[in-house]
Amino acid sequence: QVQLAESGGRLVQTGGSLRLSCIASGRAFSNWDGGWFRQAPGKEREFVVAISPVGSHTFYADSVKGRFTISRDHAKNTVYLQMNSLKPEDTAVYYCAARSSALRTQATDYPYWGQGTQVTVSS
């Protein structure tokens, strides 16, 4: 089992930046792929970015490429999502997720989820 807890979401203006954190506990998180997804009201949960266990491989959704950066700190059992140049369409609940192997973009491929953190970008 892996338990995940996100933090860092808040209200920010268009063009601003935020850094989300996802702290893991339980089984060795350093062996797991980490992913970020988001869900806006009335929309499906969508993939944002994923990172391999050692951080050597990442995969970004086109909508955030060049603006968001994922990273991880094994010593802190934490995955981060740095979000820059935020837009109103980035407004959503952001979820951290984990899976045991291979980067995936489908939410159904991730068995472990955090509770989510709200990001609101005002225009």
- pLDDT of the chain, 123 residues: tens digit per residue: 889 999 999 999 999 999 999 999 977 788 889 999 999 999 999 999 999 998 889 999 999 999 999 999 999 999 999 999 999 999 999 999 999 877 889 999 999 999 999 999 999
Cα–Cα distance, 53 to 22 (Å, whole number): 14
Give the pairing type, strands 46-51 and 58-60.
Answer: antiparallel
Q: How many residues does the chain have?
A: 123
